[in-house]
Amino acid sequence: MSIALIILAAGKGTRMGSDLPKVLHRIAHAPMLWHAMRAGQALAPERTVVVTGHEADMVGASARDFDPETRVVLQTEQKGTAHAVAQAAPALDGFTGDAIVLYGDTPFISQDKLEEMARARSRHDVVVLGFNATDPGRYGRLVTEGDALLRIVEYKDATEDERSIALCNSGVVAADATLLMDLISEVGNSNAAGEYYLPDIVAIARARGLSAGVVPCDESETLGVNSRAELAQAEAAFQRCARLRLMEDGVALQAPETVWLAWDTVIGRDAEIEPNVVFGPCVTIESGARIRAFSHLEGCHVSRGAIVGPFARLRPGAELAEHSRVGNFVEIKNAHLGAGAKANHLTYIGDADIGERTNIGAGTVTCNYDGFFKHRTTIGKDAFIGSDTMLVAPVTVGDGAMTGSGSVVTKNVAPGDLAIGRARQENKPGMARALRDMLRAKKQKQTKG
C-alpha cells in the first residue's frame, strides 16, 4: 500500500511568544517538524506534503532540509484542520493509496504506532489515533460504541456527558487519500469555533455506511507543544526516552540523567558514557568507545576503543580512528586522528590529518586560520610533536618526524627529521643570584626612605 503523509504546520503558535514558527522550535537539536517527519518515514511514504501558513517560507525550507522531495503547500488563512488538509489535495494529484495526517507540533508519535494505524486500515475506512488522557482538558473526545468510533466532538461543542469521556483525539488520522478529500469536502464550519474540523470526517464517513476505528496509544506519544514550558517538558521527555533506548541497546550510561542526546545520536553497544556529556547533532560513537565526563561532541565520529575526555570538545568533522585518545582540554575540528594517535592535553587540532600512533604534545596548536583562509596541517604516522608546538598551516610533518618543544613550525618537516624552531638557550652562570641581590638591595633602600 502506498502512503502519503500530510503534515499540518500552518499554525502560528502564539503561546510560544516567539518570532520563530512553533514547528521550528527545536527538541534535541531538531525542529519539532523533523521529529514528526522522521516518525512518518517508517511508513516509507511515496509522498510527503507539509501544509504551511505562518512563516510559510521558513517552514517549507526546513521541511525540504529534512527531505528535499517534500511537497510544500500553502494554507493562506487558517480556517481549521480539515481546511488545512484540503490544501494538500493538489500535491496528491495522481496519488493512489492511504493518506496519514500528522501534526508538526506533535513530535513524539512513534513509528510503531503509525505502522499499527496503517495495518488497522484493513479493518476500518477511517482510523484515528486516540489516547486515554489523565486530564482530557480541551482535547476532542472520541465517542465510541464497542469497537466502533461513532464521531469526534470538539471540547467547545461537547455536552457535559461527552466532556466526561477520557478517550481523546490525538489528531492523527489515516484513510484512503481520495476518500479523505471527498469526506473533507462535506465538512462544514457551523460549530463553536467557526472552523472546518478534520475530526468531523468520522461522522460523515459513518453516515455513508463506512466504518471508523480507534488505535489507542500512550498519552506520552501525543504530547503536543504550545508554550515554552511545554517545549522544555517535551525536551525532558525526549531525553528520558532516548537515554532508556540507548541503555536497552547495551550502552553504558553511568548517570543517564546528566547525559544530553541529540535527536540523531548513534552510540554502539558497550560504549561507555560518563556523567555530564553533551551530544550535539550528527554524532556516531562506535562500540566500546569511552566518552569521559564533561565532554561536548557534535558532528563527529568516534571509532571503537577510542577514549575521549574528560573535558574534551569534538567539533564538526572530527574523525577519531580506533584506539585514538583525546584528553582534557583538547579541541578537535575538521580533523582526522589516525588509529592509536594521541592528543592528551590542552591542544587545538583544526583542519588536520594526524597519522597512526602519532603523539601530539601538550599545548600544541595547529594555526589553521590567517584571518581569511583556512589551511591544512598534515602529520604522518609515528611522529612526535613536542609540547607547545605551533604548526603554522599549510604545513606537513613526515612519518616518524619530531618537533622540539616550543617550536614554531612554518616549513615542512621531512620524514625522520627533527625540527627545532625556537630561540637558542643561553645560560648566564651565577646571574640569578646577582640579580636577586641587586633587587633586594633596591627594595630595602625604598622601604627605609
Active site residues: 345
Rule CB under 6 A: say whether 83 interacts with ligand UD1: yes
Q: According to the binding rule CB under 6 A, does residue 168 interact with ligand UD1?
A: yes
Q: For residue 220, give the DSSP letter.
A: G
- Convert 5-35 to b/e letters by CB count within 10 Å (16 or more is b): bbbbbbbebeebeeeebbbbbbbbbbbbbbb
Does 149 participate in binding ligand UD1 (rule CB under 6 A)? Answer: no
In 10 A of CB 264, how many CB atoms?
A: 16
Q: How far is the CB of 149 from ligand UD1 (least distance, A)?
A: 13
By C-beta, is 90 or 416 nearer to ligand UD1?
90
Quick one: which H or E segment has residue 178? helix 177-184
351/335 Cα distance (integer angstroms): 5
151 binds ligand UD1 (CB under 6 A): no
In this chain, which stretch among 55-63, 166-174, 311-319, 392-400 interacts with ligand UD1, using CB under 6 A? 166-174
Residue 268 lies near ligand UD1 (rule: CB under 6 A): no
In the region spanning residues 358 to 377, those forming contacts with ligand UD1, defined by CB under 6 A, are: none
- Return the number of the residue (53 or 60) whose C-beta is nearest ligand UD1: 53
List the one residue from 3, 8, 212, 271 that touches ligand UD1 (CB under 6 A): 8
Counting contacts by CB under 6 A, is residue 256 touching ligand UD1?
no
Classify 295 as helix, strand or coil. coil
DSSP class per residue in 10-61: ----GGG-SSS-GGGSEETTEEHHHHHHHHHHTT--SEEEEEEBTBHHHHHH
- Choices 75-83, 251-259, 294-302, 421-429; region in contact with ligand UD1 by CB under 6 A: 75-83
Size, binding site for ligand UD1 by CB under 6 A: 28
- 197, 238, 260, 263: residue in contact with ligand UD1 (rule CB under 6 A): 197
Q: Which of 11, 60, 268, 280 binds ligand UD1 (CB under 6 A)?
A: 11
Question: Measured between alpha carbons, how far apart are the two ends of the chain, in Å?
Answer: 100
Residue whose CB is less far from ligand UD1, 79 or 313: 79
Element (H, E) at 111: helix 111-120
**Whole-number minimum distance, CB 221 to ligand UD1, in Å?**
12
Phi (first) and psi of residue 441, to 5 degrees: -60, -40
d(CA 270, CA 280): 21
* CA pair distance 288, 307, nearest whole angstrom: 9
Q: Is 198 helix (H, G, I), strand (E, B) or coil?
A: helix
Does 154 bind ligand UD1 (CB under 6 A)? Our answer is yes
Residue 178 CB, nearest approach to ligand UD1 (Å): 21
Verify binding: residue 48, ligand UD1, rule CB under 6 A: no
CA 193 to chain centre: 36
Kind plus residue range of the DSSP H or E element containing 273: strand 272-273
User: Among residues 107, 29, 25, which one has the least CA distance to residue 264?
Assistant: 29
Residue 248 is placed in which grid cell?
A: 536497552
Segment interacting with ligand UD1 (CB under 6 A) among 76-84, 124-132, 269-277, 338-346: 76-84
Distances (CA, A) of 168 to 43, 116, 117, 159: 24, 18, 16, 15
221 vs 274 by CB, closer to ligand UD1: 221
As measured in angstroms, the least distance from the Cβ of 99 to ligand UD1 is 15
What would the grid cell of residue 291 be?
566518552
Regarding 224 and contact with ligand UD1 (CB under 6 A), the answer is yes
Of the candidate spans 7-15, 115-123, 237-245, 340-348, the one that interacts with ligand UD1 by CB under 6 A turns out to be 7-15
Q: Which residues bind ligand UD1 (CB under 6 A)?
A: 8-11, 51, 53, 75, 78-81, 83-84, 103-105, 139-140, 152, 154, 168-171, 197-199, 224
